Structure 1
Amino acid sequence: MMQQSMQQLDIFADSRDVMLRNDVLDALQRRDAVEARQAWQKLVDDFPDNETLAGLATLIGVLEGDSATPFADHRALATACRHLGDAVEPAARRLLGDAAGQAWTASCWRAVAQQAAALPFRAEERDHHAAPLWLRAGDWGEARRAVERIESWRRIPAPLAWMAEARYRADGLESALPLLTELAWLSSVRLADLLHRFADTSIDTLRKKFDATFDGAGQVSDLVWLPAWVLTEKPGLATLLREAQPSRQTAPERAVRLLLQILSLERQGNQHELVERRKALRDLHAGLYAAYLKTR
């Protein structure tokens, strides 16, 4: 009888532990800082060794913080981003679940983006700007507007990548393809990171074939040639790739322009100029020329 009573008390204690924790979580979901802190204190008083206390306190601290005052400088923004990424987001996912935790943290990124709105883009602080924060918040429209306020954004890898992602998330791959092409010419590293985060099946299929067959160095730097190679595999994308704006006139960019001309000349049946452009492509990159011939 004594053992049964002790078991009942243990069950009651466990149930109260869960109940008090859920009270905190419910207040957090409603973003009620005062109620969340009060519920958290009850949990501390009754269960001071509860393993969720620290994580809950982290989330409550975000709600209690000042989320309206603009950041004074990029250092303050960097500190806030580091705290959100390293402490708040993991705690939210752990305590609320992946989907709910991500949604909860998105509001935090949105608040930080608003605080960072007045900070200018700086090359040395290129990842500390409102645009990537709007992307993390899932607000593609605000991300685009933030990028558009950066002078010459289309010639700078970081904001170009942000705009490409905003277009991809909002409107799909076709809308982003010209910008992805330009990004390949400016920064193969940023392109590789972006494609990895997209996890787009159609892109991944092409990327795997490119990595397996393209005659390059076998490194990320090969991606500068990806847009030109894609034209040999998917000539139907020529219309979209024509929208890519002129960049630095590097060999990979010239290869795209040559292939666009070649595809146009093939339709026209202009053999004389076609032979000349094909020779120019062969001289520019023998491996790319070989990839082109395989499809002919």
Structure 2
Amino acid sequence: MDQLDIFANSRDVALLNDALIALQRYDDAGTRRVMQVLAAEFPCDHHLPVLELLVNAIGDDAGTAPICSYVAAMETATLLTVHVRAAAIQLLGHRDAKAWLPVLWRRLAHRCAMLAYSPRYADCHSAAFLLEAGDWDAARRKVSATASWRRLPAPLAWMTEATWHIEGMEAAWPMLAELAWLSPSRFDTLAGRLADSSLDALLLAFNANFEANGDGSDLAWFPVWALIEKTGLARWLAHAQPSRQLAPERAMRLVLDLLILERDGRQRELLARRRELQELSPAVYRAYMRTR
């Protein structure tokens, strides 16, 4: 914790520091005892409402009571995301707030453990909260227990994020491709969360160079474009599971075939496959031919 100026030798600062020390230990009762003294001696202290918000977040009820309603889960998650996080940063600073918040997300995940995945409340799931807590292994286990998770945008995004943290970008590529085909908007959100330098560089070049609709749906074509730009990705993208067989996926499968045909020197088949690609997507075909 970035301690407040204890050298100011003022009673209110000393009390506030004591409250923050107890808060960082998730000591609900200890924090409240110090707050009571602070409120009695300095009733106008502007830190009191913020402390009240944070101490409520670590209270016994907030830590143990099961949540059986998607609406309640959404409201609690929003409270943590918007209000509690801002208050923690205000009083603890960015570094210590980042270290303090995961326990609250883990508690929320535990409280929501009985809520099954619901497409209507796609982000109200314990796997999403475990990701916020940085508990990658637990998040993967939770997603794995969700039926057909690889065909659902939100669970697929959660599994991809957890895999990226545990195994790295290479292992995440097949699921990234599937997510781009299934939900370009989810893919875009996940890319922002990962902040992977190699992925960001490719996305920047894709947005600048790929000739398509010029909107968010273009990201469905990103996997095939990335494969053309970095053919070494073939060893990973070849493991992408079949999705909806829409044009962006079919184009990537065609380019994977073309790379094999080029390597083997099978010219007749190569020309036939190139014509297929040209008919399927002139934009992808032009990107492919520019590298040949």
Q: How does 1:86-125 map to 2 (within 5 A)?
A: 86-125=82-121
> Partner of 1:40 in structure 2?
35
Deviation at 1:117, TM superposition (A): 1.0
> Partner of 1:29 in structure 2?
24
> Partner of 2:154 in structure 1?
158
Deviation at 1:13, TM superposition (A): 8.3
Q: Does 1:269 align with 2:265?
A: yes
After superposition, what is the alpha-carbon deviation per residue over 1:178-202, rounded to whole angstroms, capped at 9, x for unaligned?
0000001000001011111212111
Which amino acid in structure 1 is aligned with residue 222 of structure 2?
Answer: L
CA, structure 1 residues 42+241, in 2 after alignment: closer, same or farther (shift >3 Å)? same
Equivalent position SS for 2:58: helix
After superposition, what is the alpha-carbon deviation per residue over 1:140-182, rounded to whole angstroms, capped at 9, x for unaligned?
0111111111100000111101111111122211111100000
CA RMSD of aligned residues (A): 1.4
Q: Distance in 1 between matches of 2:252 and 2:78?
A: 40
> Partner of 2:250 in structure 1?
254
Deviation at 1:125, TM superposition (A): 1.1
> Partner of 1:175 in structure 2?
171
Runs of 4+ in 1 over 3 A off after TM superposition: 11-14
Q: Distance in 1 between matches of 2:257 and 2:46?
A: 65
Structure 1: 5+ residue runs without aligned partners?
Answer: 1-10
> Partner of 1:62 in structure 2?
57
Which amino acid in structure 1 is aligned with residue 100 of structure 2?
Answer: W
Deviation at 1:14, TM superposition (A): 6.3
> Partner of 1:221 in structure 2?
217
Deviation at 1:267, TM superposition (A): 0.6
Q: Structure 1 length as normaliser, TM-score? A: 0.94
Q: Distance in 1 between matches of 2:194 and 2:7?
A: 47
Deviation at 1:82, TM superposition (A): 2.0
Q: Distance in 2 between matches of 1:12 and 1:82?
A: 37
Q: Percent identity?
A: 47
CA, structure 1 residues 41+213, in 2 after alignment: closer, same or farther (shift >3 Å)? same
Which amino acid in structure 2 is aligned with residue 162 of structure 1?
Answer: W
> Partner of 2:235 in structure 1?
239
Deviation at 1:65, TM superposition (A): 3.6
After superposition, what is the alpha-carbon deviation per residue over 1:211-260, rounded to whole angstroms, capped at 9, x for unaligned?
11111011111010000011110001101000000011100000010000
Deviation at 1:104, TM superposition (A): 1.0
After superposition, what is the alpha-carbon deviation per residue over 1:60-84, rounded to whole angstroms, capped at 9, x for unaligned?
1122241223212212212221221
Which amino acid in structure 2 is aligned with residue 32 of structure 1?
Answer: D
> Partner of 2:180 in structure 1?
184
> Partner of 1:4 in structure 2?
none
> Partner of 2:47 in structure 1?
52
**Which of 204, 208, 231 matches 2:204?**
208
